[in-house]
Amino acid sequence: MGISDLETLSNDEIAALPVDRRALLVLADAVQLDTWNWRNWCLGFSQNRPSPGLATAEAAIAEAWGWLISRTLISTKGGSYDFHDFHVTTAGREALERGLAYVQATIRLDVELVPSLERKVRPQFLLGDFELAAFAAMREVEIAVRDLGGLGTDLVGVPLMQNAFREGGPLHDPTVHPAESVAQMNLYAGAMGLFKNPASHRRVDYYDPSEASEVILLADLLLRILQRQRASSSS
């Protein structure tokens, strides 16, 4: 669906669209028309549309504008005292350029990450370097396991996780059920084997940025588990 397709949709079709998809169509149409006042855009939208279902479509369009504001894809226009004036933000321009999948992935990642991921990984992701962001996230897990376990740099990836969490290893917790210890070892080793090791040897393309965001969220979970384990051992 292209940027000019909004006017080709019926009122019912507009109302039936998911709000994020509908919002990007609205934003693209407003940019194409060089609109800077969303109230005027709404008036123009309603002017030539058929009456049946118009009220429902208008409510859906209003919801789309609200969604754009809440996601900071548009903002009030600097120097203007008219609430209806707006400009497209940097995030909004990125959304139009990269598409709905990118927007959905950034929303999925719109949570507080552990500090190392906030500093080193989120900026890469927002720049569209999905492969590097996912790889960097898993590398942070690898670094944290090595540091917490006091292990040398001769071990990387899966062998590092297996040595760290195996029975008698520096991160093995003898107080939990043996099956849980094995599961933890397999969780960390599997994450390295599937998401970090391949990117170390070849290009891994994340055609769906949501998949890259999920890898980052998995790394965030693994790092939080390590933080809890560090706090527990300290106490």
164-174 pLDDT tens trace: 999 999 999 88
Q: How confident is the model over 68-77, as pLDDT tens digits? A: 999 999 998 7
Residues 153/155/160/166 CA torsion (nearest 10 deg): -110
For residue 220, give its domain range: 107-234
Q: How confident is the model over 170-216, as pLDDT tens digits? A: 999 888 898 999 999 999 999 999 888 765 544 556 678 888 999 99
Are 156 and 93 members of one domain? no
**Domain's final residue, options 52, 74, 98:** 98
**Domain's final residue, options 98, 127, 153:** 98
86 sits in which H/E element: strand 86-88
Q: How confident is the model over 124-158, as pLDDT tens digits? A: 998 888 888 999 999 999 999 999 999 988 889 99
List helix spans (H) across the chain: 11-16, 19-32, 38-47, 54-70, 90-98, 100-108, 115-120, 122-126, 130-149, 157-165, 178-191, 197-201, 209-234
Are 176 and 217 members of one domain? yes
Are 126 and 223 members of one domain? yes
Please give the tally of structural domains in the chain.
Answer: 2
pTM, two decimals, is: 0.80
Are 176 and 82 members of one domain? no
Q: What does the chain come to in residues?
A: 235
- Pairwise CA distance, residues 65 & 92, whole Å: 12
Determine whether 131 is exposed, middle or buried from the number of CB atoms within 10 Å of its CB (0-12, 13-18, 19+).
Answer: middle
- Pairwise CA distance, residues 75 & 4, whole Å: 22
Are 224 and 136 members of one domain? yes
Q: Residue 63 — pLDDT band, cuts 50, 70, 90?
A: very high
Are 60 and 117 members of one domain? no
Query: What CATH number is associated with residue 37?
Result: 1.10.10
DSSP lists the bridge partners of residue 87 as 75
Are 24 and 89 members of one domain? yes
Contact call for residues 166 and 126 (beta carbons, < 8 A): no
Question: Which string of b and e fits 95-125 if b means at least 16 CB within 10 Å?
Answer: bbeeeeebbbbbeebeeebbebbeeebbebb
Are 215 and 117 members of one domain? yes
Are 87 and 133 members of one domain? no
**Domain's final residue, options 60, 75, 98:** 98
Are 46 and 117 members of one domain? no
Contact call for residues 114 and 223 (beta carbons, < 8 A): yes
Contact call for residues 203 and 175 (beta carbons, < 8 A): no
Are 13 and 70 members of one domain? yes
